[in-house]
Amino acid sequence: MAGRTPPFPNPPLVLTVLEIRYPKLAEGFGESARRQMAEAVRDHLPLLESVVEEQVNVSVEGPVPVASSIEHQQRTVPRFSTRDRATALLVKPDALVIETTAYAGWLESFRPLVAEVLHAIERISQPNGVLRIGLRYIDEIRVPSIESAPGDWRGYIDKHLLAAADPGFIPASLRPSEWLGVVQYQTAPDSMLTVRYGPQSGYAVNPAGPTRRRDPRPAGLFFLLDSDSSWHGATEVPEFRADWICERCDLLHRPVSEFFRIVVTDRLCDEVFNRQEAGQP
């Protein structure tokens, strides 16, 4: 299994996102808080910009929901990022989001950044609790020899995920035209892992999006592995403590890592993930 452990020279991971939701900040996240946060993360996220976020509010009229109205609102939130915009932090009145397209390992790079941000927000804004923690990994697995949908992924993806197109199980008259599987696992009493998987075309993460992708592969057929590991407080709202949240993130990371290792094969790692690209040392 060692060959299936990131980081890889040619990684399939295109986006990692951590979202932490909390009760709306009583004082908001004003100019003073922005300046303090900018100073706290300057070494890793030196670029401060403002981005406009779209909000959709749905209201129901009357005691019996017979009619509703949808209101679109916009709000401006600060975005702290690296100068190449491959890693970013957004601080909202009710959540913070850390995302990167340049993931270099959980313990090696992402967790230290998470800890730095959490200790800063705990000190600067003192959120009144934690509502939800979500850790998401999106992989675009591209095999050069697989070009036509849905593709023959046997030997590259574990056979248990390929049952929907297994010729030993599915009659030849049935050929998948759309294929996206979803499975949800309970990983702890208050945590779950949701995985979406299957062949897709184009990109799962837009290379021209606000968090930039470095050297994206040409658009084409890929096998999606979208893993969302989440915790939510079902019975109470715990205090916002940076160290506790980091420990919870460690627990959320483990099932994502375990699922990835059992899904990808040694052949996929040898032929694709561990292949040195032209120009690499």
Q: What is the pLDDT of residues 37-67, one digit of tens each?
A: 999 999 999 999 998 876 554 444 555 555 5
pLDDT band at 174 (very low <50, low <70, confident <90, very high): confident
Mean pLDDT score of the chain:
89
Give the mean model confidence (pLDDT) for residues 188-196. 96
- Banded model confidence at residue 175, pLDDT cuts 50, 70, 90: confident
Residue 113 lies in domain: 2-26+86-273
Q: What angle do CA 188, 192, 196 make, to 5 degrees?
A: 150
Q: What is the C-alpha to C-alpha distance for residues 85 and 4, in angstroms, rounded to an integer? A: 28
Is 165 part of any domain? yes
| Whole-angstrom distance, CA of residue 252 vs CA of residue 134 | 8
- pLDDT score of 17 more than 50: yes
Contacts of 186 (CB under 8 A, 6+ apart): 192
The reply to whether 96 falls in a domain is yes
Residue 248 lies in a domain: yes
Q: Are 127 and 121 in contact (CB under 8 A)?
A: yes
In a domain, 64, yes or no: no
Output the pLDDT for position 70: 60
pTM of the full predicted structure? 0.90
User: Is residue 63 in a domain?
Assistant: no
Does residue 234 belong to any structural domain of this protein? yes
Q: Does residue 119 have a pLDDT over 80?
A: yes
User: pLDDT band for position 194 (50/70/90)?
Assistant: very high
Lowest pLDDT segment from 47-61, 113-127, 242-256:
47-61
pLDDT at 281: 40
In a domain, 52, yes or no: no
pLDDT confidence of residue 277:
61
Once rounded to an integer, what is the mean pLDDT over residues 146-156?
A: 91
Q: Is residue 140 part of a domain?
A: yes
Residue with the larger pLDDT of the pair 164 and 265: 265
For residues 225 and 117, the answer to whether their CB atoms sit within 8 Å is no
- The tally of CA atoms less than 13 A away on the side-chain side of residue 251 is 17
Give how many domains the chain has, as a whole number.
1
Q: Which long-range contacts (CB under 8 A, 24 or more apart) does 240-244 make?
A: 240/22, 240/122, 240/126, 240/127, 240/128, 240/129, 240/130, 241/122, 242/115, 242/118, 242/119, 242/121, 242/122
Nearest to 101 by CA among 195, 207, 200: 207
